[in-house]
Amino acid sequence: MQFLQDAPQFLFFTGKGGVGKTSVACATAVTLAGQGKRVLLVSTDPASNVGQVFDVVIGNTITAIEGVPGLSALEIDPEQAAEAYRERIVGPVRGLLPDKELASITEQLSGSCTTEVASFNEFTAFLADPAVYGGYDHVLFDTAPTGHTVRLLQLPGSWTDFLQSGKGDASCLGPLAGLDKQRSTYAAAVEALKDPTRTRLVLVARAQTSSLKEIERTNDELGEIGIHATHVVINGVLPPEAGDEALAAAVRARETAALTAMPAGVATLTRDVIGLRPTNMVGLPALRSLLSNDTVDASEDAGAAALEVTLPGPLAALVDEIEKGEHGLVLCMGKGGVGKTTIAAAIAVELAHRGHPVHLTTTDPAAHLEETLHGSVTGLRVSRIDPLEATREYRDRVLATKGKNLDEAGRRNLAEDLLSPCTEEVAVFQQFSKAVHESRREFVVIDTAPTGHTLLLLDAAGSYHRDVARQMGDAMAYTTPLMRLQDPTQTKVLLITLAEPTPVTEAEVLQQDLERAGIHPWAWVINNSLLAARPESPFLQVRAQNEVDQVARVESLSDRVAVVPLLSDEPVGVERLGSIVTGQVVPV
């Protein structure tokens, strides 16, 4: 593997959830330790399973890995780090401020930015303190901080004063209020990240369009602040051992097309390709094989038993229940790359086919749905919200109002605050609100919606919901967008996931986030299930068996679950979208 050649002291592995960052990082650690190096593996992945991979309890303590001399590992739990971080800020003022104000501060410190800052805070010593990192030849990090987080840590001036003076909205700067004393440590850590002789950033992706676009965004974002990726690993490419059945051939064709159209920003990086293995990457033999080119055989009957498992029903069963309301709002939510847009389109097409007026709106930057469905389905209207344009308008408006009388440093802080993920969700939510009201008369299906944290931020900051409540008082009845989202008779939230550990964990965290805002997800949809596709080759049957535990896990999290099989062809066009609903695989 080229990314291992002349490896510097620090290696960061980054990419979207479910691409195999942890497996690649663990296999790299084992390989380097096998060369006689002293290696520390640090994971900040919220779905970290490093301990499971090595079959040892690790946690937030440096732990030697039995059977691998020279290798130790550490798992930083991002949520525990964020909770401890919140307590350091909120604890001193508890009992001094009203409960309502404490709740507002706590919510401001409950977003993804706080989690990232807290996690980065935990491992800066490994980058900045020679007394810590000097004992290792290599320190490997499973998950890197985003460019936005690093920029936040580089902001000049006093974050505390900036927030207390009311110059920033409730979003990303809140987590920084207590960090002034650690500026020198952060500066040293950021310098280590920027130095290619000390740090190598490895982008990890699957041979899928969405995954490759994600690492291009990461690469661009980090490149803006002087942190440059040099290597890309394409993980999990279907090998010849998977056979030549129609499903395998179709997957290979899709992978080839995705790699051929790889974004220019990552196409020039040094590239390694890792073949898909039939079994999960658990145990030292599996890890030692991952970075080799050895052919892996699957037993003829090892995975056949998986095909006998009884699965949840097709998406059609959920559509039947949705249809009973005769109108309403359907929100398809989930992390990137799980197929939210496709599931939303399939539901909208099916409802339209059943004779209902339907409005499908999406934030999908590729408007292929509009092109495919425009005028082809009676009763279906398709629109697209441009997140970039909505966010630009929102930022310009805030800078022109709140930033009007700020000095240069204040405007710089405000401008960075407005680059947070929360800002995009707030901006897009304003346009979503219009569609939410339409659901009183027709079915409205929305691809991607604001998280519970964003809704609570809006509420804490004096959002539309609170403004209306204050103005209307007890004199009149009213319904705000937030109230409509909280009403299960009017809104049905579907969490979309894959039958893989990381996507399921991410969806579970999203469910908890929504429930804090009083929104309980109505159903889960497991998309692209190999198990449901009933593959024929032993290799793919073993892969399918890996999904059994994740399907059971999802069923424990929700009393409504639907499974959509992996299709032999891209689900584009009315016929293919229809097969998603019925669960019937359409031949190539």
| Residue 81 predicted with pLDDT over 70 | yes
Pairing of strands 270-275, 63-64: unpaired
Same fold, 2-297 and 315-582: yes
Tokens 């590729």 belong to 366
Pairing of strands 270-275, 10-14: unpaired
Task: Supply the pLDDT for residue 466.
Answer: 47
Kindly list the domain boundaries of the chain, sorted by start residue.
2-297, 315-582
Instruction: State yes or no: is 21 an active-site residue.
Output: yes
Task: Supply the pLDDT for residue 99.
Answer: 81
Instruction: State yes or no: is 158 an active-site residue.
Output: no
Task: Supply the pLDDT for residue 205.
Answer: 92
Q: Which of 43, 45, 403, 583 is catalytic?
A: 45
Cα–Cα dist 371/51, whole Å: 46
**Residues 155, 413: contact at Cβ < 8 Å?**
yes
Pairwise pLDDT comparison (369 vs 15), residue with the higher score: 15
Pairwise pLDDT comparison (305 vs 239), residue with the higher score: 239
Helix (H) or strand (E) holding 527: strand 523-529
Q: From the options 3.40.228.10, 3.90.1150.10, 3.40.50.300, 1.10.490.10, give the CATH code of 2-297.
A: 3.40.50.300
Q: What residues contact residue 348 under an 8 Å CB cut-off, 6+ apart? A: 358, 360, 380, 382, 443, 445
Nearest to 122 by CA among 159, 154, 173, 83: 83
Task: Supply the pLDDT for residue 302.
Answer: 53
Domain covering 315-582, topology = Rossmann fold (3.40.50)
Give burial (CB, 10 Å; 0-12/13-18/19+) of 387. Answer: middle
Task: Supply the pLDDT for residue 464.
Answer: 44
Indicate the pLDDT class of residue 465, thresholds 50, 70 and 90. Answer: very low
What mean pLDDT comes out for the span 540-567?
Answer: 93
Instruction: State yes or no: is 34 an active-site residue.
Output: no
The CA–CA distances, whole Å, from 142 to 11, 81, 250 equal 9, 16, 31
Instruction: State yes or no: is 45 an active-site residue.
Output: yes
Task: Supply the pLDDT for residue 85.
Answer: 78
Pairwise pLDDT comparison (454 vs 549), residue with the higher score: 549
Instruction: State yes or no: is 20 an active-site residue.
Output: yes
Task: Supply the pLDDT for residue 162.
Answer: 46
Q: Which two tokens stand for residue 259?
A: 């790699």
What mean pLDDT comes out for the span 511-519?
Answer: 87
Pairwise pLDDT comparison (571 vs 260), residue with the higher score: 260
Average pLDDT, the chain: 80
Q: What residues contact residue 208 under an 8 Å CB cut-off, 6+ apart? A: 254, 255, 258, 337
Condensed to tens digits (0 to 9), the pLDDT of residues 294-323 reads 655 555 555 565 567 889 999 999 999 999
3-state secondary structure of 381: strand
Cα-based torsion angle of the residue sequence 202, 207, 209, 210 in order, rounded to the nearest 10 degrees: -60
Instruction: State yes or no: is 502 an active-site residue.
Output: yes
| Residue 264 predicted with pLDDT over 60 | yes
**Residues 77, 118: contact at Cβ < 8 Å?**
no
Q: Which of 14, 23, 211, 391 is catalytic?
A: 23
**Residues 535, 245: contact at Cβ < 8 Å?**
yes
Instruction: State yes or no: is 23 an active-site residue.
Output: yes
Q: Which of 14, 15, 17, 20 is catalytic?
A: 20
Q: Which of 44, 502, 529, 537 is catalytic?
A: 502
Q: Which of 15, 16, 17, 21 is catalytic?
A: 21
Which range is most confident: 209-213, 255-259, 385-389, 583-587?
A: 255-259
| Residue 456 predicted with pLDDT over 80 | no
Task: Supply the pLDDT for residue 584.
Answer: 64
Indicate the pLDDT class of residue 160, thresholds 50, 70 and 90. Answer: very low
Nearest to 455 by CA among 477, 419, 430, 473: 430
